[in-house]
Amino acid sequence: MLKQPISITGFSSISALGNTQEEIWKKYLDTKPLISYQNFNGIETPVSKLAVAQNETLEKIREENSNYKNLDRSVLLALAASRHCIKEAGWYNTVNFGVNIGSSRGATELFERYHQEFLQQKLASTLSSPTTTLGNISSWVAQDLQSAGPDISHSITCSTALHAVLNGIAWLQSDLCDKFLVGGSEAPLTAFTIAQMKALKIYASKNNTDYPCRALDLDKNKNTMFLGEGAGMVCLEKGKNNKAKALITGIGYATEPLKHHISISTEATCFQKSIKMALKDKTLSEIDAVVMHAPGTIKGDLSEYNAIKQVFGSNLPALTTNKWKIGHTFGASGILSLELAILMLQNQKIIPVPFLENQKLPKKLERILVNAVGFGGNAVSVLVERV
C-alpha cells in the first residue's frame, strides 16, 4: 500500500489531557481518569472536558479576529491544535500544504442553538448555514494558516481522523501535494448529542467507582462509554524525513456488511482485514502494542479484541486504549490514539489500562498499531514506527 514511509514531522492536540506534549504525557502517567460530571436534562452525566487553561486558549483565539467570534467550538479546537502542529513541523513559512480535518458531528453546539432559535422564532439566523457546515472546520483552519493546498472535510463517524490520515497519505503518494495536515476535531458535549448516546443504551452512568469507563474490561456486564471533547493533528511528509517524530509504515482499511446500525460482527471482520492490510509483510512478533479503539461498550471492546486474537494468535501484543481516561471523542478519537502511540514510542513506555491485568508488556517499543472504527463498520488501522 505504501510506496515509502510517511514521516510525522509534527503532532499536537487539545483535550482534557492538556495541549502540550509534556503536560499530556504527565497526565497519561497519572492513573486517574479525566472525568467530571455535567448536568444534562437534570441528570449528572460523566464527560471529559477541557480544563480552564485550555478553555482560555480557545477564548483567546475567538477574540483575535471578529470573524472568529461566531465559530463553533469544534472549529476553535481545530485551530488551536493546528497552530501548534505546524509550528512543531516548521511549516510556518510554507503555504503549499493540504488540510484534511474531519469530524463525526461537526458544529453540534451551534447547530443545536440555531435550531432551537428556529423552533422558537420560525426564522433562521443569517450565519446558521455557513457556521454549521462540516467543511467549516478545514476551511477555517486553511484560512487561519494561510495554506495554499487543498482543504477537505469529511465525516466517517468515529474513524474519521484516521481516514484523514489515509487521505493525506494518498495525496502525498500521488505527488499532488508535498505536505498534509490531517486530523479530527469534536465538541460533542451538548444536550442532544449526549441524549442520542443515552438512547443507544451505551452511555456510562454516574457511579462511585474509580473508573466509570471500563474500556478493555472484557468481563463487564454493562456499557460504559462516555464522551469527551478534543482535537488532534499530525503533519505528514513523504519519505523518511530527518525531522520525523515517528514513521507511518503501514495503513489498512475495511468495511463490513452490517446487521445493525451501530454494531460490528462478533469477530470484527473489518478489523481483521484492516489490521492484515496495515501489517502486510510484517512478522506478527514485530508488533509491540496495539492502541485499540475500545470505546467501553460490551460488544465494541470484545469484537475488536476477538479480531486481534484472530490475527495475532499466540503472538498477542500489549493492548491499551485511552477511552477509560478521556472518553470517546468521536471523530477526533483516532488521532488522539495515534498521538498516544507516538508518545509511547518516544518515551519507551506503555500506558497501561489500570484494570487490565496479566498482560506481558514489551521491553522496548518499536512498532505500534493504532485502530479506529465507527458506526457503519468502517475500520482503519495505522502502523507507526519509532524513528
Going along the chain from its start, the domains and CATH numbers come out as 6-238 (3.40.47.10), 248-385 (3.40.47.10)
State the SS3 of the chain: CCCCCEEEEEEEEEECCECCHHHHHHHHHCCCCCCEEEEECCEEEEEECCCHHHHHHHHHHHHHCHHHCCCCHHHHHHHHHHHHHHHHHCCCCCCCCEEEEECCCCCHHHHHHHHHHHHHHCCCCCCCCCCCCCCHHHHHHHHHHCCCCCEECCCECECHHHHHHHHHHHHHHCCCCCEEEEEEEECCCCHHHHHHHHHCCCECCCCCCCCCCCCCCCCCCCCCECEECEEEEEEEEEECCCCCCEEEEEEEEEECCCCCCCCCCCCCHHHHHHHHHHHCCCCHHHCCEEECCCCCCHHHHHHHHHHHHHHHHHHCCEEECCHHHHCECHHHHHHHHHHHHHHHHHHCCCCCCCCCCCCCCCCCCCEEEEEECCCCCEEEEEEEECC
Give the predicted TM-score (pTM) of the model. 0.97
Distance in angstroms (rounded) separating the CA atoms of residues 371 and 221:
24
What pLDDT was estimated at residue 222?
94
Find cell 457546515 and name the residue. Answer: 133
What pLDDT was estimated at residue 322?
98
What pLDDT was estimated at residue 220?
94
What pLDDT was estimated at residue 3?
87
Q: How far from chain centre, in Å, is Cα 326?
A: 11
Q: With contact defined as beta carbons under 8 Å apart, do 311 and 274 qualify?
A: no
| pLDDT one digit per residue (tens) for the chain, 387 residues | 798 999 999 999 999 999 999 999 999 999 999 999 999 989 999 999 999 999 999 999 999 999 999 999 999 999 999 999 999 999 988 778 999 999 999 999 999 999 999 999 999 999 999 999 988 999 999 999 999 999 999 999 999 999 999 999 999 999 999 999 999 999 999 999 999 999 999 999 887 788 999 999 999 999 999 999 999 999 999 999 999 999 999 999 999 887 665 567 888 999 999 999 999 989 999 999 999 999 999 999 999 999 999 999 988 999 999 999 999 999 999 999 999 999 999 999 999 999 887 788 899 999 999 999 998 789 999 999 999
What pLDDT was estimated at residue 380?
98
Distance in angstroms (rounded) separating the CA atoms of residues 148 and 98:
7
Measured in degrees and rounded to the nearest 5, phi and psi for residue 385 equal -125, 150
In the chain, pLDDT over 70 holds for what percent of residues?
Answer: 98
What pLDDT was estimated at residue 358?
73
Among 221, 188, 6, residue whose Cα is nearest residue 105: 188
Within 8 A by CB and 6+ apart from 19, the residues are: 12, 13, 54, 57, 80, 81, 84
Find cell 485499540 and name the residue. Answer: 292
Q: With contact defined as beta carbons under 8 Å apart, do 327 and 213 qualify?
A: yes
Q: With contact defined as beta carbons under 8 Å apart, do 322 and 337 qualify?
A: yes
Distance in angstroms (rounded) separating the CA atoms of residues 113 and 310:
46
Grid cell, residue 63, equals 477574540
What pLDDT was estimated at residue 288?
97
Measured in degrees and rounded to the nearest 5, phi and psi for residue 22 equal -65, -45
Among 192, 200, 168, residue whose Cα is nearest residue 114: 192
Q: With contact defined as beta carbons under 8 Å apart, do 326 and 15 qualify?
A: yes
